[in-house]
Amino acid sequence: MNAATNRRRFLRGMGACLALPSLEAFLPRAAAAATGAAARGFATTATGAPLRMAFLYFPNGAVPGAWTASGAGADFKLENTLAPLDALKHRLQVISGLDLKNAEPGNDGAGDHARANGSFLTGVRVRKTAGSDIYAGVSVDQIAAQQIGRRTRFESLELSCDPHRKSGGCDSGYSCAYESNLAWRTPTSPLSPESNPRLVFERLFGSGNPGERGDSLVRRRTQQRSILDFVMDDAKSISKELTHRDKAKMDEYLTGVREIEQRIVTAEGFTDIPDPDMATPDGIPKSYDEYIRLMFQMTALAFETDATRIATLLLARDGSNRSFPEIEVAEGHHALSHHRNNEDMIRKVTLIDRFYAERFAEFLGMLETKKDADGQTVLHNSMIVYGCGNSDGNRHTHTNLPLVLAGNGGGALNPGRAFDANETPLCNLYLKMLDTMGTPSMERFGDSTGLMTGV
């Protein structure tokens, strides 16, 4: 590959700019960069591939009896709720016994949903207020972003599949800010997640040079053209310099971008259909199932192209009362979660829990099929937390959280097992993840008691 192409990581044309995925042609440069990056504490693997972390939040806890992994260590079996993940269990750690004590009521009374959401990535007790004087803590993703985010186009990516109001009171005297945000840049400044897939797409894949970004989208919409139409000349030029494997990878990537774009265009064509629960902005599919898949696909492509190495996705705010016609559950999730041991309600909540697990499994499958420049999969070079700040939604408990850690952390983690952490603070796991990312060592995060070992 010539020097000019070696320096290029974007496809450009007519004000559009599309990031390239990791390609073998970049490996020598990536390996050299890794040596310097490691010395500066940046997040890369030993081979120079990016090391990534993501936090995925599902609402209202889970049915404990159905969230099961029978057996211990490597000899375990995923059952019931977690069964959709079985094909990738060699990439998983199903960790029981992790606690989020600062989400418990204490002297604050009701408001477990807001506390669960607000404490999940901060590990602190959020201030009980419905006013503007909100107070939480800096979230684990933002601690990492502040240290390594400068290595990528976006320090971090905050997404949500819940277009929910973000001001006023939402849960027993707690601000909606706690339920609507996972990421907190400072204790008083949450990072509002983007819930419109079109805007996420344009941010990741449609941005041209400064001053051209808006023009690019308007021009493409007016001409009814794809972003790929504007960068194909550049893509063809680069392809001449690539290996067969690199060419196949880039073709797969461009196909994925086009599929996302087509699905968003389809969603925008149905915005005139009335929704009984909310007004649907442009780009949000009417199907919640499709909505989640779109957001997961864009997260996967953001990791593949190294647009960011840190992401959060709020699948739905804690306390969400969404119904699930996709799986024939007409009642609201939150109402069902308070099942009072009613067998039919438990069955329906278990269906919802499994629905979320199926979407998570699909996301992991995307990361497993994407290859990094070092030949490993993107999932191997990632750390993905999937969980909730509520454990048993019926009782609003915050001990023994339902949580899965996916990925090998570039070889630093030990997946392929289930184990009991035995009343360990969740923040101990976060300290381990921060240490693996190469951030400066921290003695404490949230309510941590030390670095979690053996993960």
CATH number at residue 153: 3.40.720
**Residue in 401, 419, 424 with CA at minimum distance from that of residue 67:** 401
- pLDDT, one tens digit per residue, over 68-126 is 888 877 889 998 999 999 999 999 999 999 999 999 999 999 999 999 999 999 999 99
12/153 same-domain check: no
Asked if the structure places residue 296 within a domain, the reply is no
Among 93, 84, 130, 136, residue whose Cα is nearest residue 350: 84
At 72 the pLDDT is 75
Query: Do both 211 and 165 map to the same domain?
Result: no
pLDDT at 230 exceeding the cut of 50? yes
Give the mean pLDDT of the chain.
86
Determine contact, residues 358/58, Cβ cutoff 8 Å: no
Strands, E assignment, 233-365: 310-314
Shared-domain flag, residues 237 and 261 = yes
> What pLDDT was estimated at residue 205?
77
Residue 422 inside a domain? The answer is yes
Number of domains comprising the chain: 2
Report CA-CA distances (Å) from 207 to 7, 233, 328.
Answer: 19, 17, 39
Check if the beta carbon of residue 113 is closer than 8 Å to that of residue 319: yes
pLDDT in tens, 176-187: 999 999 999 999
DSSP 113-138: HHHHHHHTTT-SPPP--SSS------
> Is 257 inside any structural domain?
yes
CA 60 – CA 338 distance, rounded (Å): 9
The answer to whether residues 60 and 144 belong to one domain is: yes
- The pLDDT confidence band at residue 36, using thresholds 50, 70 and 90, is very low
DSSP state for residue 76 in the 8-state scheme = E
Segments forming the whole domain that contains residue 248: 1-40+198-283
- pTM given for the model: 0.86
- In this structure, what token pair is assigned to residue 95? 């960790």
Q: Is residue 292 part of a domain?
A: no
265 and 191, same structural domain?
Answer: no
347, 362 contact by CB (below 8 A): no
CA distance 428 to 447: 8
Residues 219 and 109 grouped into a single domain: no
Contacts of 38 (CB under 8 A, 6+ apart): 44, 438
Single out the residue of 47, 31, 38, 23 nearest to residue 306, CA to CA: 23
Within this chain, do residues 178 and 313 fall inside the same structural domain, yes or no? yes
Task: State both tokens at 412.
Answer: 């630093």
Q: What share of the chain is helix, strand, coil (3-state, %, to 5)?
A: 40, 20, 40
Backbone angles phi, psi at 371, to 5 degrees: -100, 135
45 falls within a domain: no
